[in-house]
Amino acid sequence: MGRLFGTDGVRGVANADLTAELALGLSVAAAHVLAEAGTFEGHRPVAVVGRDPRASGEFLESAVVAGLASAGVDVLRVGVLPTPAVAYLTGALGADLGVMLSASHNPMPDNGIKFFARGGHKLADELEDRIEQTYRSHSSGEPWERPTGDGVGRVTVYDEGFDNYVAHLVGVLPNRLDGLKIVIDGAHGAAARVSPEAFARAGADIITIGTDPDGLNINDGCGSTHLRLLREAVVEHGADLGVAHDGDADRCLAVDGEGNEIDGDQILAVLALGMREAAGLRKNTVVATVMSNLGFKLAMEREGIEFVQTAVGDRYVLEEMKAHGYALGGEQSGHVIVLDHATTGDGTLTGLMLAARVAATGRSLKDLAGVMERLPQILINVPDVDKSRVASAPTLTAAVAEAEQELGATGRVLLRPSGTEPLVRVMVEAADIDQARAIAERLADAVKSALG
Residue 434 annotated in ligand binding: no
Nearest to 215 by CA among 86, 22, 68, 61: 61
- What's the rounded Cα separation, in Å, for the pair 254 and 354? 9
- CA-nearest of 89, 212, 83 to 156 is 89
Residue 207 has φ and ψ, to the nearest 5°, of -125, 135
Told to judge if 27 belongs to the known catalytic residues of this protein, a careful annotator would answer: no
Query: What are residue 208's DSSP bridge partners?
Result: 184
250 annotated ligand-binding residue:
yes
Distance separating alpha carbons of residues 268 and 180, to the nearest angstrom: 21
CA–centroid distance for 257 within its chain: 25
What torsion, rounded to 10 degrees, do the Cα atoms 111, 128, 117, 285 define?
-90
Specify whether the CB–CB gap between 61 and 75 falls below 8 A: no
Residues in the chain: 452
| 246 appears as a binding residue in the annotation | yes
What is d(CA 248, CA 85) in angstroms, rounded to the nearest whole number? 10
The string of DSSP letters for 102-165 reads --TTS-TTEEEEEEEETTSPBPPHHHHHHHHHHHHHHHTTPPPP---GGGS--EEE-TTHHHHH
Distance in angstroms (rounded) separating the CA atoms of residues 452 and 449: 6
Q: Are 95 and 185 in contact (CB under 8 A)?
A: no
E-assigned strand segments in 220-265: 241-244, 253-256, 261-262
Please give the single-letter amino acid code of residue 283.
K
74 is in an annotated binding site: no
Q: Among the options 27, 102, 104, 224, which is catalytic?
A: 104
CA dist., res. 389 & res. 386, Å (int): 6
Q: How far is CA 252 from the centre of its chain?
A: 9
CB 413 within 8 A of CB 439: yes
Any alpha helices (H) in 304-432, and if so which ranges? 314-324, 347-361, 365-369, 394-407
Instruction: Tell me the binding residues for Mg(2+).
Output: 104, 246, 248, 250
Catalytic center residues: 104
Which residues sit in the known binding site?
Answer: 104, 246, 248, 250
